[in-house]
A and B are shown apart, each in its own frame.
Chain A
């Protein structure tokens, strides 16, 4: 019976573009960008050159990468996506230390704070856990099996986060839900004890991040959503503490003047040592020096005041470029009180970006990206975000057809 919506959604995805992703090492030792199946890493400590050591010989990923991240202690890096493979890397040697296969496409990843467990979510809403005990990266890549940890019933999980104290794993989905689960002592037996649900969003939840303040080291959860709000939560009780309507906030920024309703929040980033949060909004076309810039992903390290952004997509239709990306860095997010920044945030010139042109060449694929490619990318990013995040709505004709062709029309009684 081919009546499963998610399966169908997978089969008939019309646009296969994937938004570019960025992640920064917690001490800004390196920066990683993923565009399509391409994983690019630039080392900021040494001479910049990083070659990924993956003894499989073949490219590390065969299809679009959907999630990348560094572990909190900076030792590990994880990449995963549509090729149903999760790769766990040493963020020092860039040796792939562990490969895990998933039954389904992977939509989100997280690394426990002690670096001993990697979690990943698949397109069916199941979160899996991999135990890394005994893997120190000294031997060549090992294959590991993942165990199911928890599940959101048939909803795509969009984001996974460990709480700062490591006590909880938080998962967000397309059905407006955020689930806070106690991360158990024996994760391979599953995480059964739900601490809370954070309910209040009225559209898909797209991103999660924790803010830690001096008075509240266990941290507050911040979530972004398709309902164009950013919300602040207490995860122990699941209570909603505050809601920020981003349209209103973004109003004073230069916008492209469109009035197409909602501004999907697609990325969140917490500025270290402060209570400042950066939010990426889908509609907001930030015009930076004449370039249309819609960030597809945000990142920063816990040690610097730099906010890294990337925009780009894979497989841009109509262009020869296999995958386009553009990296920008904003400075001036150093220690500051909530409302007044020490300096105005400043978009760095390409040459002022740490790593300079060498980094851009590596992460973007080339230093210069043609303007027209760029505006096309901006459009495609929008489409990709929509397709990725917004629920498939069948036309009423199609729905009727689907109803008629069901094979379970038995009449009760």
Chain B
């Protein structure tokens, strides 16, 4: 989808843009470094906190929409008991997220909003969230592979505003009406984006795209998984290597498994919590009877890959379940992350 409008922005004005955007929402979530040096997408209070030199964060910015854990409601004791649902009308602006994560949000939108059931918690957050993406002008991380998933190095849709660096100028693209309103707040900083700038960004992106790893693993894995051509031995190898940490799901911006639990607080309040879960864990599918349809790690490994890469799911969800962010490569204790799995599948062919 072509952008609604395009502008240019001198690169040295990025900080000012960030500063202005801080006033555009009740909560701005951007790249912030902890004192030890880890990068998180977290609440930004002042522009100095924003880290402008970053690859990508280990925890995805999608946690702003689908948190690691959240309260659904709580019941405060008494007669009659009172039900409290923590709803907030606060608006949120996600600043600086990468194109792969923009693609992941589109997939989450589809999962939480487009099905038979709409997820209220997600819907409420999503409707008040604006996305300001920063395209990758170089490979964000040694481990990412958006080029194999068609999700980068710049986003084609899904953003409100997108900034792409071309030498000392940003190409600013407006993706939505919400983005147009944000651009208006920046109007005095923005200039005209001439065709050269747009073409140059395109050329650079193409260059980067070719530079990025272009193994045929992903299409081959999609084909073989869809055709159920992957042997049991490969799933057993992958399952055997998996240490069941769940990390691949917890860091994946596309994963949407969760569990719901009630916990009683010391004052007697009962809190219903939803927290992220993982289909790599045996208990995720264990039924009340004790029967587990996916009792073996190999079955869970297969299931995980099917959901991400089988064409049946791609058809249903609109896109594949991996956006190539590379986070699972970092967290996987067993070395059986997405690129390793697609490689094992291709090699077997």
Q: Do A and B bind each other?
A: no
Binding site for A on B (CB under 8 A): none
